[in-house]
Amino acid sequence: MTERGDRPFAVFDIDGTVIRWQLYHSMADNLARMGFMDSKNHQLIKDARMIWKRRAGGFSDYEKVLIESFDQTVVKLSMAQLEAVVEAVFDEYKEQAYTFTRDLITKLKADGYLLFAVSGSPVQIVSKVAAFYGFDAFAASEYEYLNKKFTGQKRVIAREKRQALEALIKKFKAGSKNSLGVGDTYSDIPMLEIVDRPIAFNPERRLFAHAKSHGWEIVLERKDMVYKLRQAKGKYELAETD
């Protein structure tokens, strides 16, 4: 893509921030549904998910099991099989977006912002979602594919979101003034720390604690309501509802 000059930028996580569910997780479910994942690994995922849903374990514990099972499966796939899974997930979830982030993306585009997506999900699904919502560029996890097979090696963007965002800023010569970022998990903190307006959206516990200690804006969306919280005199108060 061409460089755009000194325009302000906004960065969004994708899973659970723009799209209402986790794309990585839906891909794992579809691997099983389409017969590409063995029943043992899929059962491990379902058991870990239920433990998390019962709040008997943390979300990160569930996610670790899911990614391990996904990684064990992807090395057995052809590129065509993975792309079939990606297409199924994209068709199902592309329009299942949160109202707050969907409308914010539309407004920022109209205001001339560069839009970046930085996601820990595989590049094959992130690229499609980013294109669908009109992002200018994205960074995502990549599974190495050599000699017509996946090697098991990967680059995990969740571990380097700040570096990924800084590379996009440099590439596009984006301006830092009035920059904005939206994320929902602890791994988003490094990229949110470098924007002027960090927003913790439906934050998990560790992100919430960090956002609270730094006075960041917190936004919650439940059912058909959006609740915007802002810190005043050391306490959060309801600033606005949509």
- Give the span between the Cα atoms of 3 and 39, in whole angstroms: 47
Average pLDDT over residues 8-16: 96
Contact yes or no for 37/73 (Cβ under 8 A): yes
Q: What is the pLDDT of residues 187-222, one digit of tens each?
A: 999 999 999 999 999 999 899 999 999 999 999 999
149 HSE (CA, 13 A, CB side): 6
pLDDT class of 232 with cuts at 50, 70, 90: confident
Residue 24 or 137, more confident: 137
Could you read off the pLDDT of 15-73 as tens digits, one per residue? 999 999 889 889 999 999 999 999 999 999 999 999 998 988 888 889 899 999 999 99
Domain boundaries defined on the chain: 1-20+97-242, 21-95
On whether the 1-20+97-242 domain is CATH 3.40.50.1000, my answer is yes
Q: How far is residue 169's CA from residue 207's CA, in Å, rounded to a whole number?
A: 23
218's tokens: 């917190």
